[in-house]
Chains A and B, each alone.
Chain A
């Protein structure tokens, strides 16, 4: 793997023997690498094909259309025992994306809070935040997940002795149960109102930032957005005469039925991922904030900014440029780490597909191939998006 021509040796003189010619060397080395890789892939593939054929092991992707025959505890799409392995794959993928998406949001919020707290002038808060980071970061995530699942969930009460802090909300070892809104006829207006509110908010944000850039006048975008987001749908409900009923969870037989429920596996996985990842995000945020020159804070102080405002308008926007690239890595780590779900029985992609489906079909090569491809796609897409976002943040610099 030599890279002789990096050294810029003069190759035009013609007096160099071909053996020392960097260009020829480069070509030879690269050719050797290509041959090596091709041979390795060929040997591996031919071995695999030979092994599979000679031992009469099924191959190909046809199995995705076969009936799965097993049940899954948490499904975001309709899934039953008679669904196919392909459906099971989609269920697993959606579960992974669900826990990753919620985990990323919560870990970011918690990470920023802890990161800022570490720099707090309040001695106790700073120490607590430091202790949090140093303890959580230095323990294996798997240990933390097992702890949350087997040690903490274990101490929750049985369904018959549930905690019921509020009417309709129950917490027990089978999960967290909540009332589920059921939308009757006429609720289309409610859905429409949400869409309209979101569109309106985007428009207002754009208009407000343009106006501020042009005239310097500020507009209370945050409050307006909140009012729109909650007000419009509420208005829609009032107009249509509340076509919403709530399905309450009820204790029937062994378990609660009806309502919405969060599986303990989901809660434990989310808790573990958020707490673990937040400790890394906190360190990134702290480093980012410390990278902003202290003069910026002082200048803001001189202009009469309050502390919170300084942080929000001066320090964090500048820190973001340092923060975003490592933050991307943490998001990817969280997504990949969600695969540890397999240890605590949350039906994510690895658990359902690379676990159960692999076991039932025995087609290890195809299943592992698809699983790895999915994670690669997710991570490449996330990188691409964050690069784009990073570029935008960088351009804000004036």
Chain B
């Protein structure tokens, strides 16, 4: 009857990780030596493992940036693939330290789920994809259509709102995982496929004939996507928030991973503060003073990360749009480092 100890043995050795769900996430992350990041189960360009199991993408790079801020090492991060359903519980229970999984910032998520959004790293909106052969050019022509959508998302609610507001009928076909939604749409089960516009570009690559499909011009919702942390740990929130802002500021000041070393000698006080050559802005956060320089050097500024993963040169080919810097007509605005 030795076997009855087996589960406990496995439990003891395999996975029971002690991570303070509350008090001091930073101390915890430092103690265990790596950042545990909640990621998508697979959204091309944003967060997905490749054939070798290496995680790549826009959100993944943001996790790496946090890891660099803390450890100065982009490999000290582990990714937990989470379904839409699991993501909040995983964060609430302390299974992951931060959730960077194209999650929409809404009031109820801030107020009822014990979570708090650390900012918006991608301004998105919900769109529709249809077959070109359908011969329609506007979402307003979709009355009576079957629409494939993923469950547990704000998308599902926006979809219902949009059709109701425009007095149109529709027939939802709902799946648990985005891959299933894509498969069903590809099979012709639905006339339209709806998700965040960024997701549409990513998922289109998975279709049998991407060229046969088009994205309709209407954007029916605001989808500010951003990293999420637990409530009650403001220090941790600050680190996540400012990792994003420092990457924005770097882009604005023209600091890139290539020129960051030269920039350290720059005379511009903004750049000096950002890279830690002047003042002590890292230490009060519990980091080193050169954390900003490390993030830019090892991961890159916001624009670099964007272009590398989802930008016009990638298969996704997404233009900056709302995600351009405020100086270039977009919404990305980094508060000053001072």
- Residues of A in contact with B (beta carbons under 8 Å apart): 51-52, 54-58, 69-73, 81, 150, 153-154, 158, 173-174, 252-255, 257, 264-265, 342-345, 347, 351, 355-356, 358-360, 362, 364
How many residues on chain B are close to A (CB under 8 Å)? 46
Stretch at the interface among B5-13, B168-176, B277-285: B168-176
How many inter-chain contacts with C-beta < 8 Å in the A-B complex? 118
Whether B153 is near chain A, meaning CB under 8 Å from some CB there, is yes
A73 and B232: CB pair below 8 A?
no
What are 30 pairs between A and B in contact, CB < 8 Å? A54-B22, A54-B114, A54-B232, A55-B113, A55-B114, A57-B112, A58-B112, A69-B157, A69-B160, A70-B156, A71-B159, A71-B170, A73-B171, A154-B187, A154-B189, A174-B146, A253-B144, A255-B145, A257-B144, A265-B173, A343-B176, A344-B180, A345-B173, A347-B174, A351-B174, A358-B152, A359-B84, A359-B152, A362-B112, A362-B113
Asked whether A69 and B161 contact (CB < 8 A) given A255-B144, A345-B180, A356-B151, the answer is yes
In the complex, A72→B160 CA distance in Å? 10
Say how far A112's CB is from chain B's closest CB, in angstroms: 34
By DSSP majority rule, is chain B's interface helix, strand, loop, or mixed? mixed
In the complex, A72→B174 CA distance in Å? 8
B151 and A364: CB pair below 8 A?
no
Residues of B within 8 Å of A158, CB to CB, are 188
- Residues of B in contact with A (beta carbons under 8 Å apart): 21-22, 84-85, 88-89, 92-93, 109, 111-115, 134, 143-146, 151-153, 156-157, 159-161, 163-164, 170-176, 180, 183-184, 187-189, 191, 230-232
B161 and A55: CB pair below 8 A?
no
Top 6 A-B residue pairs of the complex, sorted by shortest distance between their CB atoms: A359-B152, A55-B114, A154-B187, A58-B112, A81-B160, A56-B114
A255 and B171: CB pair below 8 A?
yes
Given contacts A70-B172, A253-B144, A254-B144, 20 further A-B contacts (CB under 8 A): A51-B93, A54-B114, A55-B115, A56-B113, A56-B231, A57-B92, A69-B157, A70-B160, A71-B170, A72-B172, A81-B160, A81-B164, A153-B189, A154-B189, A158-B188, A174-B189, A254-B145, A265-B173, A345-B174, A362-B89
Asked whether A359 and B151 contact (CB < 8 A) given A69-B160, A70-B160, A73-B173, the answer is yes
Residues of B within 8 Å of A252, CB to CB, are 144
Residues of A within 8 Å of B85, CB to CB, are 355, 358-359
Measured CB to CB, the nearest residue on chain B to A155 is B187
In the complex, A72→B149 CA distance in Å? 11
In the complex, A347→B189 CA distance in Å? 15
A360 and B152: CB pair below 8 A?
yes
Measured CB to CB, the nearest residue on chain B to A255 is B144
Asked whether A73 and B172 contact (CB < 8 A) given A158-B188, A255-B144, the answer is yes
Say how far A264's CB is from chain B's closest CB, in angstroms: 7
A57 and B114: CB pair below 8 A?
yes
Residues of A within 8 Å of B157, CB to CB, are 69-70, 360
Measured CB to CB, the nearest residue on chain B to A358 is B85
B160 and A71: CB pair below 8 A?
yes
Say how far B190's CB is from chain A's closest CB, in angstroms: 9
B187 and A355: CB pair below 8 A?
no
In the complex, A362→B112 CA distance in Å? 8
In the complex, A173→B186 CA distance in Å? 12
In the complex, A167→B189 CA distance in Å? 23
Measured CB to CB, the nearest residue on chain B to A173 is B188
In the complex, A58→B107 CA distance in Å? 13
Asked whether A345 and B88 contact (CB < 8 A) given A73-B174, A264-B189, the answer is no
The winner among A56, A154, A342 for most chain B CB atoms within 10 A is A56
Say how far B113's CB is from chain A's closest CB, in angstroms: 5
Residues of B within 8 Å of A358, CB to CB, are 85, 152
In the complex, A278→B163 CA distance in Å? 42
Measured CB to CB, the nearest residue on chain A to B189 is A173
